Amino acid sequence: MESLSVLVLFIALSFAAAAVARRCVRFAADPWYESLAKPAWHPAPATFRRVWTVLYVLIGVSGWIVARQAAFMPLEPMALFLLQLALNAAWPAVFFGLRRPGAALPVMAALLAAAGATAWSFAQRSSIAAGLLVPYLAWLTAAAVLNVQVWRLNRDRRWD
């Protein structure tokens, strides 16, 4: 039962980052976002919500696997885990909250680096935990490309 409560804690941590992000992302209610030029391959807003729900569960389960395999909470992977969650919450705050796609690019680069470092650190302890982060890394890579494209397509726009 103790392991189950730790699993719930890790999933809750992931969804805490999601809650912060959700406060910044209001696709349907935000005419600013709708007014942006986006590439043709841009996913629908409902796709983002569905994918992120699955990803946050995978992130939480991945952290739980690493935490439960150690006799003590391993500092490096857990610090990286928390860092990538913080950056995961920071990116939408900059992109959507501040409405600054260009300023969100370095945050996204840091997020990709932190998520990659987390996956690498987790791989040293569990290939399953690292594997659960692969869809997250793939989605972040696509999000980074989308961020670059939105910035590029709108860079002449005045950001109010």
H or E, element range at 77: helix 75-92
Class at the top of the CATH hierarchy for domain 2-154: mainly alpha
Cα gap 79→70, rounded to integer Å: 15
At 24, is the pLDDT very low, low, confident or very high (cuts 50, 70, 90)? Answer: low
Break the chain into its structural domains and give their ranges. Answer: 2-154
pLDDT at 1 over 80: no
- Helical pair 75-92 and 101-123, crossing angle rounded to 10 deg: 160
pLDDT in tens, 73-95: 667 898 999 999 999 999 998 99
Q: Are residues 122 and 76 in contact, defined by beta-carbon separation less than 8 angstroms?
A: no
- Helical pair 45-69 and 134-154, crossing angle rounded to 10 deg: 140
